[in-house]
Amino acid sequence: MNVSVGDELPPLDIPLTRTMIVATAIASRDYQDVHHDPSLAAERGSKDVFMNILTTNGLVDRYVTAWAGPSCRVTAIRIRLGVPNYPGDTMRLTGTVTARNGDDVEIAVKGVNALGPHVTGTVVVRLQGKKA
């Protein structure tokens, strides 16, 4: 498979269920109540529980590594959060190859839900087994 600047990764839609949001917060040992208790999240000004940054980071990693293949190595992830990911919505991840230096590839990623951009950033992977 050839990889060139401008290549687009296939989009990935991720259903945002309450179970997924709560379970991934607990799995990442993030016990902040805004990630698992709807009434306490509301007391703090949120309409519902929302996804934590560790889960977002993991989903971005999964998205890029699923495209790059099992032998790739992530060397950098730089993300910025935007609007929350709430239960009942869907986040669509998209990506574009923005730079290539030998086996190192930089991908601009974006995750958008009904409210707008949830996450934007870049991921750098070292490819193995992909042709230039």
Provide the angle, in degrees to the nearest 10, between the axes of the packed helices 53-68 and 18-27. 100
pLDDT value at 26 more than 90: yes
When pLDDT is averaged across residues 35-47 and rounded to a whole number, the result is: 93
Residues 6+ apart with CB under 8 A from 125: 64, 65, 68, 72, 73, 74, 75, 104, 105, 107
Residues 6+ apart with CB under 8 A from 117: 82, 83, 110, 111
Number of Cα atoms under 13 Å in the Cβ half of residue 34: 13
In one letter, which amino acid is 29?
R
Determine the pLDDT at residue 30.
85
When pLDDT is averaged across residues 35-53 and rounded to a whole number, the result is: 94
When pLDDT is averaged across residues 51-60 and rounded to a whole number, the result is: 97
| Separation of alpha carbons 125 and 99, rounded Å | 11
pLDDT value at 43 more than 70: yes
Spans of all domains in the chain: 8-126
**Which of the four CATH numbers 3.30.420.40, 3.10.129.10, 1.25.40.10, 3.40.50.720 does domain 8-126 have?**
3.10.129.10
